[in-house]
Structure 1
């Protein structure tokens, strides 16, 4: 499993747009240009750039096309390679694997009121957060675990967060078991990856990609 990440930089924005305009599809470029904030545009663009970098350097895939499942999850056509992209704050991360994968990163916002999300938690999950020593850290652990699993499953918002619960880094959705692993990227962010393959003891390649390298 390959995990690549980088941080956005305003000073690099036009350079990145110019460099990758010819590489990305017309549809993707049009999507990028619709964003009002440069931050959102660059996060989306860098997700695709990290994917291209990872496929090229670690799987020897230089050209690829993307399609979407009936549930709108993007996938690479003609290659048995899975990927997932997540971004939050100034961070974007891309995970690439030979098995279905989901990754979620969240900025640990200490101003958040975790009780606003009580309706999306099971009673056990809320109790765990409520009684934890660091409630904000516990909340973002809960959130990234759930989101990573849902993304690995591939049906997105069709899976309610309250419909399953995580126990010992495992969860079951529609009779399919998923495994979780925490990934440390930065102290200000929480990150988990999930897969239907047991990745808990798996060694991962985690790489920070400097924008000057792209």
Structure 2
């Protein structure tokens, strides 16, 4: 495959993992996000020849011997790369709110009891859809920040509580995409 990018910043082990993705677009987004991260780190004093990732038990990548925390997320045509050198942990998520998911079949699988009560009190599918994706992106960014991904029972998390105790930022990229970033300070 030809990617008009300098792949020398990505070690062979990491490239091999990326090439396991079946879709070209999925491979390209992962290569592009890593090249972006590398260029950012180089501008901020990173001196290694290539990104030196290791993975925790839940397959979350982190950089060896580096103070920067980062999180990748992908949705359709977008790549989200969150980077910080002043936090303990960082997680990010981007989701397309206009996909073909039937949120009425799924919300009970991902929401806490309080979130379900609130969801069911909302009037109109647009309001329910907005809230569903707020819940989803916040929870996914939070579990990414913890480094455990979706190995946590997300129904046990409540976004109303999380937003009180953690720094969670929500953004609407446009009318079709939601972003959440969780910052955990030391």
TM-score, reference length from structure 1: 0.74
Residues 37-76 of structure 1 mapped to structure 2, 5 A cutoff = 37-57=23-43, 59-63=44-48, 64-76=51-63
Please list the CA deviations of residues 70-100 of structure 1 after superposition, one character each: whole Å capped at 9, or x if unmatched. 3332111111211110001111111111211
1:29 alignment partner in structure 2: 15
* Most deviating of 83-92 and 182-191: 182-191
Equivalences, count: 178
1:101 alignment partner in structure 2: 90
Greater relative contact order: 1 or 2 (C-alpha under 8 angstroms, separation 6 or more)?
1
Consecutive unaligned residues of structure 2, counting only runs of 5 or more, are: none
Structure having the higher helix fraction is: 2
Deviation, structure 1 residue 56: 2.3
Residues 129-144 of structure 1 mapped to structure 2, 5 A cutoff = 129-132=119-122, 133=124, 134-144=127-137
| Residues 150, 103 of structure 1: alpha-carbon distance in 2 compared, 3 angstrom cutoff | same
Q: Aligned with 2:62: secondary structure? A: strand
Deviation, structure 1 residue 152: 0.6
Query: How large is the RMSD of aligned CA atoms in angstroms?
Result: 2.2
Please list the CA deviations of residues 173-201 of structure 1 after superposition, one character each: whole Å capped at 9, or x if unmatched. xxxx4321113433321000002239xxx
TM-score, reference length from structure 2: 0.84
Residues 1-16 of structure 1 mapped to structure 2, 5 A cutoff = 14-16=2-4
